[in-house]
Amino acid sequence: MTHIDRDDLALIALAELDLTEPERVHLSECPECSLDLISLRHTIAVGRSARDVEVIEPGDAVWGRIHSALGLSDAVAGTPRRSDYPAAVGPARAGPARVGPVARIDGSARPGRARFWLPLTVAAGIVGLVGGIGGGIWWESLRQDAAPPVVTEAKIAEAKLDPFPGWDAAGTAYVEKAADGRREVVVDLTGATGTAPLREVWLIKADASGLVSIGLLDGNTGRFSIPDGLDLAQYPLVDVSAEPDNGDPAHSGDSIVRGRLHAT
């Protein structure tokens, strides 16, 4: 199978390149490319949503953990400060290099244009590092430091479920935590999903390297228990897939909708 060029996926995610019909068909059939596109779109959404975020210098302990995790040398053991790097003043930076025509999955060629894949890759790495550290701290704080609930159940996270190519559907999902610590995902799905023999609900890692089935969706709304010990910081994606009625427990690769959980 010929996959979509990763540079093309990046430009599609940035809305700088439109999908061709062969690419739409390929995304509906290829879980690898569709997962890559979803991941890129999430990365871009996080980056764009952070434009107005006030930057606060972290404490020395944060840099100490990063320094240790990356195995950096003692030469950079000191915590870097914004004051150490004054704003650059001078000539404008060189623009991105241009490349020649590149063949797309349907065999057509698109004109040479500026490529932004390297910066996007770097940005994805930064977002992944910061998101991993921040997400872990946030969820750990949520588990350990939250005040005793005053209601039977509290909504702690929610997600907007967006459709995959080929599906006219949408929905929402949210996580409720009971006073005794039990957690449930509530899924509300709308749109045309009648062609799916079975609809299965999954929790998936952000990089799609792991997934957990939490049940079958019967109707438009369902409530599903989250396994004890499952870290939602590691499994933040809620996915509803179309499954054949053949007894195979594996994900079919045909996702109807998917969305990322965010704290409420």
3-state secondary structure 131-150: HHHHHHHHHHHHHHHCCCCC
- The domain boundary residue, chosen from 118, 143, 168: 143
pLDDT at 217 over 60: yes
pLDDT at 240 over 80: yes
Output DSSP code: residue 87: P
* Average pLDDT taken over every residue of the chain: 76
Same domain for 235 and 127, yes or no, is no
- The domain boundary residue, chosen from 115, 143, 171: 143
pLDDT at 249 over 60: yes
User: Which domain range does residue 235 map to?
Assistant: 153-263
Closest CA to 261 of 200, 183, 168: 183
Amino acid at 64: G
Q: Is residue 1 part of a domain?
A: no
Q: What is the pLDDT of residues 120-178, one digit of tens each?
A: 444 444 445 444 544 544 444 444 444 444 445 789 999 999 999 888 999 999 999 99
Task: State whether residue 247 is helix, strand or coil.
Answer: coil
Task: State whether residue 241 is helix, strand or coil.
Answer: strand
Q: Is residue 148 part of a domain?
A: no
Q: Is residue 66 part of a domain?
A: yes
Answer yes or no: are the C-beta atoms of 96 and 115 closer than 8 Å: yes
- How far is 170 from 190, CA to CA, in rounded Å? 5
- Residue 233 CA from chain centroid, whole number: 11
